[in-house]
Homo-oligomer: A and B are copies of this chain.
């Protein structure tokens, strides 16, 4: 139960105040949501971008996003933008990333942007929406030049994604319904950008309670380049990984040279 469902005291004085209250007395600020939607295609991390169809910065690529609507909640707006501009499934994991509000970030007026981070399994190429001339997946580490401060937002989203893989089972949101341990390892290697020890990764994933659960099935055939058929798993019910699956540290990587 949230506060506004309780008996909030609204006496005469407060009623009078609300009646004469003029929202236009406050400095105008526009509020938008922007979405950093990530997926993995052909072993490379990709981010969804739209080509701006109108000024400012027309023709440049930007994160999908737009103004929030009256009566619309923030996560709702983020999901709408994602679906609207790209036709993406509304089931993708989505979480708030951060809010950007530097006074100079948009030349039109004061714009405060609440960014969201979304993870999705490999999806078909998106459809262009009304606001965008085009929408497409781009390599997340080598994107085209981005509009506004979206390069910074993307960088923050990538770092959040890398960190989240450590202590949550979110890597499974990049895979299909079922997956092999190797596919899961591929997600980690792609997002972190480092190769992992196959044997240790296997041991670790199976030892963390609730990370994955066996389906009892195996792949129909071995890998395209050989190897036995792998067991298939699905996401478990854990929301946090205990103990966490930590990235190799810098010192360890230096030692490996």
Residues of A within 8 A of B (CB): 2-4, 8-10, 13-14, 17-18, 21, 23-24, 26-31, 54-58, 67-74, 96, 98-105, 107-110, 112, 114, 146-152, 242-243, 246, 249
Contact = CB atoms under 8 A, between A and B. Distances in A.
* Integer count of this chain's copies in the complex: 2
B23 A101 contact: no
10 tightest A-B CB contacts, nearest first: A14-B55, A17-B55, A74-B101, A23-B109, A23-B28, A99-B99, A27-B70, A29-B31, A71-B103, A99-B114
A28 to B, nearest CB: 4
A70 B242 contact: no
Contacts of A58: 13-14
Question: Most chain-B CB neighbours within 10 Å: which of A3, A17, A96, A103?
Answer: A3
Contact of A105 (B4, B110, B147): B4
A68 B147 CA distance: 24
A112 B75 CA distance: 13
A3 to B, nearest CB: 6
- Interface residues of A, dominant DSSP: loop
Given A13-B58, A73-B102, 15 more contacts: A2-B102, A2-B149, A4-B104, A4-B107, A14-B57, A17-B55, A17-B56, A18-B55, A18-B108, A23-B28, A27-B70, A29-B29, A29-B30, A74-B99, A96-B98
A147 B23 contact: no
Contacts of A18: 55-56, 107-108
A10 B55 CA distance: 9
23 contacts: A2-B149, A3-B149, A4-B105, A4-B107, A8-B56, A13-B55, A14-B57, A14-B58, A17-B56, A18-B55, A18-B56, A18-B107, A23-B28, A24-B28, A27-B67, A27-B69, A73-B103, A74-B100, A74-B102, A74-B112, A99-B99, A112-B114, A243-B246
